[in-house]
Amino acid sequence: MFKNVCCIGAGFVGGPTMAVFADKCPNLNITVVDLNHERINLWNSENLDRLPIFEPGLKDLIKRTRGKNLFFSTEIIEPIKSADMIFISVNTPIKSSGIGAGEASDLRWVESSARTIAKFSQGHTIVIEKSTLPVRTAKVIKEILHSNQNTSENKNKLKSFSILSNPEFLAEGTALDDLENPDRVLIGGEDEESINQLKDLYLNWVPNEKIITSNLWSSELSKLTANAFLAQRISSINSITAVCEATGGDIREVSKAVGLDSRIGNKFLNSGPGFGGSCFKKDILNLVYLCKFFNLPEVANYWDQVVKINKWQKDRIYKKIVEKLFGNLSDKRIAILGFAFKANTNDTRESPAIEISKDLLNEGAKLVFYDPKVSKNQIIKDLSKTIEMITQKNKDEFLFFADNVYDAVKDVDAIVLITEWEEFKNLDWIKISNLMIPPSWVFDTRDVVDPSRISGSSVNLWKLGNADFN
């Protein structure tokens, strides 16, 4: 029975996933390693409010496991040496230059992880792809691991590897529940014994029938396909928001009617400002690249359209805001409520707030931000390129930050609701309307404003996908 587990990458996946493994498998000794010292320090901070990611329930889980059988470290070599099983959970963004730029995955972090494992591992090691990867990456990892066995340094050491694909399906904001009660666990591989060893770990808390196995390539492809299908649903419903606005429909009613068909189901039919998050766009673009590589242009174009509609939706919202504010935003103040890509996370990667804010800044607007979990520094970082580009002036003239909604909306001409935080659902709209500059507008992109609560105020309401509020 093996005991030592190492996870390379202490990010949104590595941290919570290993914390759940530690909690459910008390006999394991798990070390999560990362090159990023700041991140590891935050994972190790005494004050649990300083953990590097916000995820409901995470503080309690870390309190239960950290220092017992879960450790976070920047020391990579020793945990790899002693590991029986190593999860690779590093970032796999889109390449920004060179062949495949803008579509293909940048595998430099996966490759360097594989090289480090090849160099330092000892005995038999099960290497598990946890990151989302292009199909056939397992072959690359295998080649790196095996080629290293023949180097002069390693020749006399007995090393062997088996490679598994075990993609992660958690969503941020619900990560712990997704990990504790997964719809399924997928293990792809060629070596039955290793598959069973990983399966045995999951069996500590996941029912047997939910653990499915496949070959490596099906497993890698299933992850890309699942994300592509989820993103496709959002682009599909978002495309219909514009049709609702044009024809007199209400997207909420349409979503409900469509979702009640048990073949379609009611999940993932909430319209919004477009999907964000670090994965949907990159994983679809990766699928598109794969299709082009295998000379399947029709399939590539089909999936590419999901990404195009997503961009179009953000664009459409920004143009609507400009139109309603008389085509002129210069010197207008606009409150941006919510900056995270969805509620219950502090992650802003690919958040629709970034693109919409940039477009509004380009029109000359001054923006006041409030998000309950995203820091001022993160927002400045996300917008920094645009700020340099459009103003050349001090950012303090264009970007403002508030600690609560009511401070944020003071003297603004408009409010744009971008993230569906719970606290935005019960706002005092009479109080807010008295703080704003008339004629004031609220642009609700997430269906968080109850029109009956705003009707007594002087605020104009625009609701995405609702012809009555357009």
Q: How many residues bind ligand UGA (CB under 6 A)?
A: 20
Q: How far apart are CA 326 and CA 296, in angstroms?
A: 46
Task: Note whether 20 binds ligand UGA by CB under 6 A.
Answer: no
Identified binder of ligand UGA from the candidate list 16, 79, 134, 276, rule CB under 6 A:
276
Q: Looking at 15-23, 89-97, 111-119, 165-173, which segment touches ligand UGA (CB under 6 A)?
A: 165-173
Instruction: Tell me how far, at minimum, the Cβ of 85 lies from ligand NAD, in Å.
Output: 16
Q: Which residues on adjacent β-strands are paired with residue 161?
A: 125
Cα–Cα nearest to 312, from 301, 300, 320:
320
Binding span for ligand UGA by CB under 6 A among 97-105, 243-251, 266-274, 364-372? 266-274
The residue behind tokens 């089909």 is 302
Q: Closer CB to ligand NAD, residue 335 or residue 340?
A: 340
- For the four alpha carbons of 433, 435, 439 and 442, in that order, the dihedral sign comes to negative
341's contact among ligand NAD, ligand UGA, none, with CB below 5 to 8 A by partner kind, is ligand UGA
Of ligand UGA, ligand NAD, none, which one sits near residue 11, judging by CB under 5 to 8 A according to partner kind?
Answer: ligand NAD
171 binds ligand UGA (CB under 6 A): yes
Q: How far is CA 258 from the centre of its chain?
A: 26
Q: Which of 268, 302, 312, 406 binds ligand UGA (CB under 6 A)?
A: 268
Toward ligand UGA, which CB reaches closer, 65 or 344?
Answer: 344
234-258 b/e with 16+ CB inside 10 Å = b? bbebbbbbbebbeeebbbbebbeee
Tokens read off for 337: 């409520």
Residue spans of beta strands (DSSP E) within 207-299: 211-214
Q: Using CB under 6 A, which of 18, 80, 135, 230 touches ligand UGA?
A: 230
Q: How far apart are CB 226 and ligand NAD at their closest, in Å?
A: 10
Q: Taking CB under 6 A as the rule, does residue 169 contact ligand UGA?
A: yes
Q: 278 Cβ partners below 8 Å, 6+ apart?
A: 12, 91, 93, 347, 349, 350
Residues 129-148 that bind ligand UGA (CB under 6 A): 132
Closest CA to 215 of 154, 138, 274: 138
Residues forming beta bridges with residue 333, ordered by sequence position: 366
Residue (157 or 184) nearer to ligand UGA, CB: 184
Tell me which of 342, 366, 373, 463 binds ligand UGA, using CB under 6 A: 342
The SS3 call for residue 7 is strand
DSSP per-residue letters across 317-373: HHHHHHHHTTT--TT-EEEEE--SSSTT----TT-HHHHHHHHHHHTT-EEEEE-SS
- Find the shortest distance in angstroms from Cβ 335 to ligand UGA: 20
In the complex, least distance from residue 394 CB atom to ligand NAD, rounded to whole angstroms: 31
SS3 state of residue 69: coil
- Helix (H), strand (E) at residue 441: strand 441-444
- By a kind-dependent CB cut-off of 5 to 8 A, residue 92 interacts, out of ligand UGA, ligand NAD, none, with ligand NAD
β partners of residue 449: none
Closer residue to ligand UGA in complex, CB, 84/304: 304
Binding partner of residue 113 among ligand UGA, ligand NAD, none, CB cut-off 5 to 8 Å per kind:
ligand NAD
Report residue 402 as tokens.
Answer: 């508030």
Concerning whether 279 is annotated as a catalytic residue, the answer is: yes
Q: Do 435 and 442 meet the contact criterion of CB atoms below 8 Å apart?
A: no
Which residue, 172 or 363, has its beta carbon nearer to ligand UGA? 172
Question: Taking CB under 6 A as the rule, does residue 54 contact ligand UGA?
Answer: no
Judged by CB under 6 A, the residue of 10, 33, 185, 269 near ligand UGA is 269
Number of H helices, E strands in the chain: 17, 14
* Spatial contact of 432 and 415, defined as CB atoms under 8 Å apart: yes
Looking at the Cβ atoms of 39 and 333, the one nearer to ligand NAD is 39
Residues engaged in binding ligand NAD (CB under 6 A): 8-14, 33-36, 39, 89-92, 109, 112-113, 131-132, 168, 170, 172, 278-279
234 binds ligand UGA (CB under 6 A): yes
Pick from ligand NAD, ligand UGA, none: which does 270 bind, CB < 5 to 8 A by kind? ligand UGA
**Nearest approach, Cβ of 320 to ligand NAD (angstroms)?**
30
Q: Maximum CA pair distance of the chain?
A: 80
User: φ, ψ for residue 396 (rounded to 5)?
Assistant: -65, -15
- Cα Rg for the chain, rounded, in angstroms? 24
Catalytic residue among 6, 25, 279, 291: 279
Contact positions with ligand UGA (CB under 6 A) in 189-228? 227
Q: Residue 231: which of 302, 337, 134, 298 has the closest Cα?
A: 302
Which residues are the active-site residues? 279
Using CB under 6 A, list all residues that contact ligand UGA: 132, 168-172, 227, 230, 234, 268-270, 272, 275-277, 279-280, 341-342
